[in-house]
Amino acid sequence: MPKLVIICSGGALGSAERRFLTSCVTERGRSGVPWGTLLVNATGSFLIAVLMTLALATGFISVDLRMFPTPGVTGGYTSSSFNYETLWFVERGAWPLASTYMVLAGASCIRADVLGRWVMDAAIRATAGRATA
């Protein structure tokens, strides 16, 4: 199967997951913050970190197989809605909220990535410890 078809199939699945999750979370409650996008991008960062840490540390996921979950599913799951939503605040003159949202989004995605790497590193070390025992 061509890589493009694999990536597009994953992207379709990720996009559907994204829509489902964001529809379960109030997009703009009283605070005006698009919590659904924040949640999706942070969990997507976590998933990418888990998958890539596993793939690179163990070789468990080949380069070709990575096309489905990494640029495919997580590419469709995470979004550039961040840009749109930040500019939505700016266009309405809500500069403090736009700035807060940018910092919150960036920090949550980086923390989620670090957590994902830490979880997988710990799981790989634990598994390696059992294999040698």
Range with the poorest average pLDDT among 38-42, 56-60, 63-67, 79-83: 79-83
Tell me the pLDDT tens digit for each residue of 45-57.
999 999 889 888 8
CB 80 within 8 A of CB 36: no
- Torsion of the alpha carbons at 116, 118, 123 and 124, rounded to the nearest 10: 110
Alpha helix segments (H runs only) across 59-94: 63-66, 75-77, 81-91
Q: Is the pLDDT of residue 73 over 60?
A: yes
pLDDT at position 62, please?
A: 84
Distance set, CA 14 to CA 7, 8, 10 (Å): 10, 10, 6
pLDDT, mean of residues 17-35: 77
Rounded-to-integer distance, Cα 98 and Cα 109, Å: 17
Residue 84: pLDDT band with limits 50, 70, 90: confident
Q: Tell me the Cα Rg of the chain.
A: 17
pLDDT, mean of residues 17-43: 81
